[in-house]
A and B are shown apart, each in its own frame.
Chain A
Amino acid sequence: MKKIEAIIQPFKFDDVKEAMKAIGIDGMTVSEVRGHGRQKGHKEVYRGQEYEVDLLPKVKLEMVIPDARLEEVVQTLTRSARTGKIGDGKVFVYEVAEAVRIRNDDRGESAL
């Protein structure tokens, strides 16, 4: 099993979710996060006080998938999240040692 962690642009989240649904990936955990990579922040001005804001709002997706579907999922993800501009985000892939379904103790890929 692999865990996919993707940091994406918030406004691309619906596209990604639809694309995942289309290839039959239903489970995901989503959080609103803040961060930055190479993308520059922006300047805000309140009554003349300037603030450099370099932590930008992003969405973090976490999904655990069967090994066999890794390439397909990553490609679907990058395709649906891409604008081609700086700030599109990153995908990280991890090995997962075990998965347990709490409801009935299913183990491994059948628990996904």
Chain B
Amino acid sequence: MAQGPQDAGARLAALENQVRSAQSAGDNAWMLISSALVLMMTGPGLALFYGGLVRRKNVLGTMMQSFILMGLVTVIWAVAGYSLVFAEGSPFVGGFRYLFLNGVGAAPNSDYAATIPQQTFMVYQLMFAIITPALISGAFAERMKFSAMLLFMTLWSLLVYFPMAHMVWGKGGFLNAALGGKVPCFDFAGGTVVHITSGVSALVCALYLGRRKGYLHEPMKPHNLTLSFIGACMLWVGWFGFNAGSALAASALATSAFVATHFAAASAALGWVIVEWIRTGKPSVLGGISGCVAGLVAITPASGFVTPFPALFIGLAAGVVCYFMVTKIKDLFRYDDSLDAFGVHGAGGTLGAILTGVFATKLVNDSFNRPLGAVDGNGGQVLNQLVGTLIAWGLASVGTLVILKVCDWILGVRVEPEDETEGLDLSMHGEEAYNLEA
């Protein structure tokens, strides 16, 4: 039986569909795994990392500050967050089209990720919205009232994170590099959106709440560095979902971001340890894990734009710079950024955002069809990166200060002195982490 041209056309269309669904299956598998990896960064990753660094009377309170955001931010995201970031709106904040996840289902949103269900994209981005405020909690550890923290995080998500994420990643956002931004700023996985906003807000929190009782007089040693060690290693692994997942497909770009991420973490850990070894005579475990996190922070905006050797350099620079931020600069100004959220995320994020403008290259990411950073001969990109950095600093610092004032007025942000002495575990949550007699 002879087959007519119509028949061939139908078979071609069927084949095309099969190819598309095969690609979609691969991409979707990777993006669901990435989503889970990024959630794992908050709980247990960050919760363990921060929980080990505080005194034993505050370990549960500290872990709870990360964990509860997995609940709180999820609800806010479903109601309004996703829409305020990713629906088309003004250059500064998204619109209401996806309110209550209206229309966010199996069909891809081709503006952002054409091969995966929009629902996958939505849940992946949610994980970023969870970890970003959780990072701030390192600055006000051991002294913020739980109720005030919940209010603070709600307002902060609405007024700082959603607008910033929209500006950088949302269609028509002011800084969006791919979808019609006025000042295209490269931020692959959240140098400005995640790390500068959280790090700078952390500094404002540390300054506003003031130092912990007894800071610089009483010993405030980390109570369990093995917890912090496990947490940091989980962060390192989870970060592959964070950065390589930001390719939004199981693509060569994802591989490149994976490699850059890993290389930066490695060189940053070495950088911090070596500088510390030279200066104090001993290479510490806390130094090693702090260094790797600093490197991961700094490579975040650059991860989808740079080749392996610039990634090694960015990591090394972050390891050394952040070491001096937390050991020297903090001492100089005597602010109590308890777990160094600013020293690592603020400083590392700023460094990474700017260096992205230097090292971004079309060899890695050709989706823009033009020279990207200074190494491609587009030196002006560094200025764009500075604009993005300044906007993130400005929005985070002003927004956080206003929100803290509001929270302080309504609830009071700081725990009572006797509660602080007793510890957050008992005073806020009515339980203890280590019941050795039990």
Give the residue of A44, A48, A51 whose beta carbon is less than 8 angstroms from that of B331: A48
Within 8 A of B (CB), among A37-83: 44-49, 51
Can you name 23 A-B residue pairings with CB atoms under 8 Å?
Answer: A44-B221, A45-B280, A45-B282, A45-B284, A46-B221, A46-B222, A46-B284, A46-B286, A47-B286, A47-B287, A47-B290, A47-B326, A47-B327, A47-B340, A48-B280, A48-B326, A48-B327, A48-B328, A48-B330, A48-B331, A49-B220, A51-B219, A51-B221
Given A46-B284, A48-B331; 16 other pairs, CB 8 A cutoff: A45-B280, A45-B282, A45-B284, A46-B221, A46-B222, A47-B287, A47-B290, A47-B326, A47-B327, A48-B326, A48-B327, A48-B328, A48-B330, A49-B220, A51-B219, A51-B221
B281–chain A nearest beta-carbon distance, Å:
9
A67–chain B nearest beta-carbon distance, Å:
37
Q: B222 — nearest CB in chain A belongs to which residue?
A: A46
Within 8 A of A (CB), among B192-245: 219-222
B110–chain A nearest beta-carbon distance, Å:
46
Contacts of A44 in B (CB 8 A): 221
A91–chain B nearest beta-carbon distance, Å:
29
The total of chain A residues at the interface (CB under 8 A) is 7
A1–chain B nearest beta-carbon distance, Å:
31
B297–chain A nearest beta-carbon distance, Å:
15
A65–chain B nearest beta-carbon distance, Å:
31
Q: What's the Cα separation between A45 and B282 when bound, in Å?
A: 9
Q: Which 3 pairs, one residue from A and one from B, show the smallest C-beta to C-beta distance? A: A48-B327, A47-B326, A45-B280
Q: A11-48: contact bitstring with B at CB < 8 Å (1 yes, 0 no)? A: 00000000000000000000000000000000011111
Q: What's the Cα separation between A44 and B331 when bound, in Å?
A: 17
Q: B329-369: contact bitstring with A at CB < 8 Å (1 yes, 0 no)? A: 01100000000100000000000000000000000000000
Contacts of A48 in B (CB 8 A): 280, 326-328, 330-331
Q: A49 — nearest CB in chain B belongs to which residue?
A: B220
Q: A45 — nearest CB in chain B belongs to which residue?
A: B280
Q: B295-312: contact bitstring with A at CB < 8 Å (1 yes, 0 no)? A: 000000000000000000
Contacts of B222 in A (CB 8 A): 46
A55–chain B nearest beta-carbon distance, Å:
11
A54–chain B nearest beta-carbon distance, Å:
11
Q: What's the Cα separation between A44 and B340 when bound, in Å?
A: 18
Q: What's the Cα separation between A51 and B220 when bound, in Å?
A: 9
Q: What's the Cα separation between A94 and B219 when bound, in Å?
A: 36
Contacts of A49 in B (CB 8 A): 220
Q: B269-287: contact bitstring with A at CB < 8 Å (1 yes, 0 no)? A: 0000000000010101011
Q: What's the Cα separation between A48 and B284 when bound, in Å?
A: 11
Contacts of B220 in A (CB 8 A): 49
Q: B331 — nearest CB in chain A belongs to which residue?
A: A48
Contacts of B287 in A (CB 8 A): 47
Q: B340 — nearest CB in chain A belongs to which residue?
A: A47
Contacts of B328 in A (CB 8 A): 48
Contacts of B331 in A (CB 8 A): 48
Of B219, B331, B340, most buried by chain A (CB within 10 Å of CB) is B219
Contacts of A46 in B (CB 8 A): 221-222, 284, 286
Q: B43-87: contact bitstring with A at CB < 8 Å (1 yes, 0 no)? A: 000000000000000000000000000000000000000000000
Q: A48 — nearest CB in chain B belongs to which residue?
A: B327
Contacts of B326 in A (CB 8 A): 47-48
A52–chain B nearest beta-carbon distance, Å:
9
Contacts of B330 in A (CB 8 A): 48
Q: A50 — nearest CB in chain B belongs to which residue?
A: B280
Q: What's the Cα separation between A47 and B330 when bound, in Å?
A: 10
A110–chain B nearest beta-carbon distance, Å:
34
Q: What's the Cα separation between A46 and B323 when bound, in Å?
A: 11
Q: What's the Cα separation between A83 and B282 when bound, in Å?
A: 26
Contacts of B284 in A (CB 8 A): 45-46
A105–chain B nearest beta-carbon distance, Å:
30
Q: B225 — nearest CB in chain A belongs to which residue?
A: A46
Q: What's the Cα separation between A13 and B331 when bound, in Å?
A: 42
Contacts of B282 in A (CB 8 A): 45
Q: B219 — nearest CB in chain A belongs to which residue?
A: A51
B303–chain A nearest beta-carbon distance, Å:
25
Q: B328 — nearest CB in chain A belongs to which residue?
A: A48
Contacts of A45 in B (CB 8 A): 280, 282, 284
Q: What's the Cα separation between A51 and B331 when bound, in Å?
A: 14
A48–chain B nearest beta-carbon distance, Å:
3
Q: What's the Cα separation between A69 and B125 when bound, in Å?
A: 75
